[in-house]
Amino acid sequence: MGTSALQPWVTELTIMQQSVLLGSVRGPDGVGKYHPAKYMLRWYRRCILLSALDQRVLTTPIEPGGGSFTGPSVGEGTSVPLDWTGIMDAVVANYLRSLDELPHHFQMHFLHAAEILGYKHPDPLIRRWWRWLYDRLVNDLHLHPETEEEMDRRLGDDRAQWLERADSATVE
């Protein structure tokens, strides 16, 4: 006992950033087990959690293992190419087409979690992929992405800095 489910790099983030990441792990209520959001979440979980069943980090969205919680995002038995990013295009497209079925609250948590991975994940390929996804999610909302510096200020464990971007209607 005493081992964390979090990948070690996650614990080096601010507590606010860790909280955002953890808030997205569970996923949305009211959608089926095989909803497109669940396949996105499997990859997401692999990027921040250790696979409990495998006792290790699963480094691609398609390698076998992980059970249903951190399982592959595409069909079992798919060979693991060096560049898995193209295979994930269909998973992302299905997710984006399903957004109207998801609670907005979940989608915003997931978008911010993707942002953190897109700026902070230690693996350059994974970091670039999540940044690409963050940009797509932001563009889907017709918004502009935050810079890493803006995100760090908003999620930097400093209440005054967080309040700079908060709306008075939702503070306390």
Measured CA to CA in angstroms, residue 97 lies from 14, 23, 27, 35, 92 at distances of: 32, 23, 17, 11, 9
Does 51 reside within a domain?
yes
Handedness of CA 82, 85, 89, 91 (dihedral sign): positive
- The mean of the pLDDT values for the chain is 92
Does 171 reside within a domain?
no
Does 112 reside within a domain?
yes
Helices (H), the chain: 15-23, 36-48, 88-97, 104-120, 124-140, 148-154, 159-163
Does 31 reside within a domain?
yes
User: Are 171 and 163 spatial neighbours (Cβ–Cβ below 8 Å)?
Assistant: yes
Does 135 reside within a domain?
yes
Domain coverage including residue 51: 8-166
Average pLDDT of the residues in 161-169: 91
Does 94 reside within a domain?
yes
Give the predicted TM-score (pTM) of the model. 0.94
Name which residue leads in pLDDT, 141 or 68.
Answer: 141
Number of domains in the chain: 1
Does 3 reside within a domain?
no
Average pLDDT of the residues in 153-172: 91
Count CB neighbours of 99 within 10 A: 16
pLDDT, one tens digit per residue, over 109-159 is 999 999 999 999 999 999 999 999 999 999 999 999 999 999 999 999 999
